[in-house]
Amino acid sequence: MNEDNSESQDTRAGFIDHPLVGQYIQDIKSNSWFAKTPVGNHNYPIDIRAPGKAPTAVQIDSMIKLLARLPDIIASSNLPEAPTNEWKIKHPDYRLVNARIYFLNLYEDGSFYVCLNAYPEDDWSPAFEISPDFKVIEAAWIV
């Protein structure tokens, strides 16, 4: 941040300093912003994206509320623990509820898209489309 407490342009490839997310990149084409930062109680960086020119407190608060409810949201989705029996045999200890969040998109209508990490050597990842009132719209294993 610069002296007048506003955002400042970083010298690195389009990064902009911001007090809510550390640094973000503005995507002018899609009128959105992107950051890789810890969110809420998660102590690891999550790829987050939301509409607008810069992160807002309302957007970050909405993401924090979603992440606090995510274990219950995942449990209510009835998504199987594995995409295939072969995958389940290969990764018998994998649990959706314990998976790290890979990315989180917040859309203009207030809905979310969350993708969890699985195993880097595999193509499958669990993903959830979630309504603004935190209900699962769709849950699927994606490739």
Asked if residue 124 is part of any domain, the answer here is yes
| pLDDT of the residue at 130 | 98
- Residue 63 has φ and ψ, to the nearest 5°, of -65, -40
∠ CA 35-65-82 to the nearest 5 degrees?
A: 80
DSSP code of residue 98: G
Asked if residue 58 is part of any domain, the answer here is yes
Beta strands in 40-81 (DSSP E): 46-51
- Nearest CA among 134, 129, 132 for reference residue 103: 129
Q: What is the pTM of this model?
A: 0.86
Asked if residue 43 is part of any domain, the answer here is yes
Asked if residue 103 is part of any domain, the answer here is yes
Q: Is the Cα dihedral 20, 21, 25, 26 positive or negative?
A: negative
| pLDDT of the residue at 103 | 97
Q: Which domain holds residue 50?
A: 27-142
Q: What is the domain count for the chain?
A: 1
| pLDDT of the residue at 100 | 93
Asked if residue 59 is part of any domain, the answer here is yes
Asked if residue 95 is part of any domain, the answer here is yes
| pLDDT of the residue at 119 | 87
Asked if residue 119 is part of any domain, the answer here is yes
Beta-carbon contacts of residue 117 (< 8 Å; ≥ 6 apart)? 99, 100, 101, 102, 125
Asked if residue 17 is part of any domain, the answer here is no
Residue that has been written with the tokens 């274990």 in this structure = 71
pLDDT digits (tens, 9 = 90+) for 8-59: 444 456 899 999 999 999 999 999 999 999 999 999 999 999 999 999 999 9
**Between 140 and 12, the higher pLDDT residue:** 140
